[in-house]
């Protein structure tokens, strides 16, 4: 069921958005050669504790997960493209890291993701990161009251395909509110003018993610991490936004 938020409730969601943005920023700055993925998870855990927030991930156990997630952060490296389960791995020069983080503050959730290159960057990695960021911006721009959900999906797909990437539609954006995942599902591909009419008060996470050489994934033996089927690298960008009468409001905007 889709629940529209009142202007007052959107105001109440802003602290969660600001907190998630601060954590994502800190993680991007902390990621460096030699840093262990478990250290990044510990940093996010410490920030949750200090803020009096709650993790959306640690007890999360959907049908596609082998067990409760057990960590507070997704860390996906290179061919790991989504839902990367933090483990003891020290980042190496040239690694492509995606971090995805969601938390609840005062009962309201926000969700965001960022991809960065650790150390020396490959041009192909910079291109795919830039494409996900531009696709995210296009999807947000299309999230106008009176438009359709398909307009958001089509805008994401246009940027992604124009850059030469194929699109996996098994996972995408979603409604956000009191819980991390709700209706509606926001695919990264779709037809303009189709689907749900966007109304003020709709809060969604928009999250384009792409793989360099394929649109096929498989689940790692850890039961969570999704990897590209051909071993190519992936990138992921995400913001939580509210549809308002004045245009889309990015709740997880980073400084």
Rounded mean pLDDT of the chain? 97
Find out whether 188 and 172 touch, Cβ atoms under 8 Å.
yes
The answer to whether the annotation marks 239 as part of a ligand binding site is no
38-84 pLDDT, tens digit per residue, is 999 999 999 999 999 999 999 999 888 989 999 999 999 999 999 99
**CA 31, CA 42: separation in Å to the nearest integer?**
12
State the pLDDT at residue 255: 82
Residue 245: exposure state from Cβ atoms within 10 A (0-12, 13-18, ≥19)? exposed
Look at the chain and report how many structural domains it folds into: 1
- Rounded CA-CA distance 102/91 in Å is 22
Q: Report whether 215 belongs to an annotated binding site.
A: no
158 appears as a binding residue in the annotation? no
Domain holding 159, by residue range, is: 7-250
pTM: 0.97
Query: Does residue 115 sit within a domain?
Result: yes
CATH of the domain at 175: 3.90.230.10
pLDDT at 116: 98
For position 72, what pLDDT does the model report? 98
For 212, the token pair is 């360099």
Assign 3-state DSSP to the chain and report helix, strand, coil percentages, each to 5. Answer: 30, 25, 45
At residue 12, the pLDDT reads: 98
For residue 1, tell me if it sits in a domain: no
Report which of 219, 184, 201, 198 is spatially closest to residue 84, judged by C-alpha positions.
219
83 is in an annotated binding site: yes
Each residue's pLDDT tens digit, 3-18:
999 999 999 999 999 9
- Determine the 3-state secondary structure of 173 from DSSP: strand
Nearest to 113 by CA among 232, 226, 209: 209
> Any binding-site annotation on 236?
no
Domain annotation covers residue 153: yes
Q: Residue range 141-161: average pLDDT?
A: 98
pLDDT above 90 for 175: yes
Tell whether 255 is covered by a domain. Answer: no
Average pLDDT over residues 195-224: 98
- The C-alpha R_g of the chain, in whole angstroms, comes to 17
Residue 36 lies in a domain: yes
- For residue 22, is it within any domain? yes
Label residue 49 exposed, middle or buried (CB < 10 Å: 0-12, 13-18, 19+). Answer: exposed
User: In this model, does residue 252 exceed pLDDT 90?
Assistant: yes
């Amino acid at each position: 069921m889709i629940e529209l938020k009142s202007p007052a409730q959107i105001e109440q969601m802003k602290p969660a958005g600001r907190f998630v943005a601060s954590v994502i920023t800190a993680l991007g700055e902390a990621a460096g050669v030699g840093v262990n993925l478990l250290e990044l998870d510990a940093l996010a855990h410490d920030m949750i504790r200090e803020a009096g927030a709650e993790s959306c991930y640690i007890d999360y156990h959907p049908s596609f997960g082998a067990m409760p997630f057990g960590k507070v952060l997704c860390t996906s490296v290179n061919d790991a493209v989504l839902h990367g389960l933090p483990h003891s791995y020290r980042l190496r020069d040239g690694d492509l890291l995606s971090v995805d983080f969601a938390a609840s503050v005062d009962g309201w959730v926000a969700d965001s993701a960022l991809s960065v290159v650790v150390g020396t960057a490959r041009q192909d990695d910079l291109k795919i990161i830039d494409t996900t960021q531009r696709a995210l911006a296009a999807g947000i721009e299309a999230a106008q009251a009176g438009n359709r959900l398909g307009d958001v999906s089509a805008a994401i797909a246009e940027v992604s395909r124009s850059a030469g990437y194929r699109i996996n539609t098994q996972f995408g954006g979603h409604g956000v509110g009191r819980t991390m995942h709700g209706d509606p599902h926001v695919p990264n591909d779709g037809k303009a003018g189709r689907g749900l009419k966007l109304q003020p008060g709709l809060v969604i996470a928009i999250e384009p993610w792409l793989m360099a050489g394929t649109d096929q994934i498989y689940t790692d033996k850890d039961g969570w991490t999704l990897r590209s089927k051909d071993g190519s690298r992936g990138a992921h960008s995400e913001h939580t936004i509210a549809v308002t009468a004045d245009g889309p409001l990015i709740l997880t905007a980073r400084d």
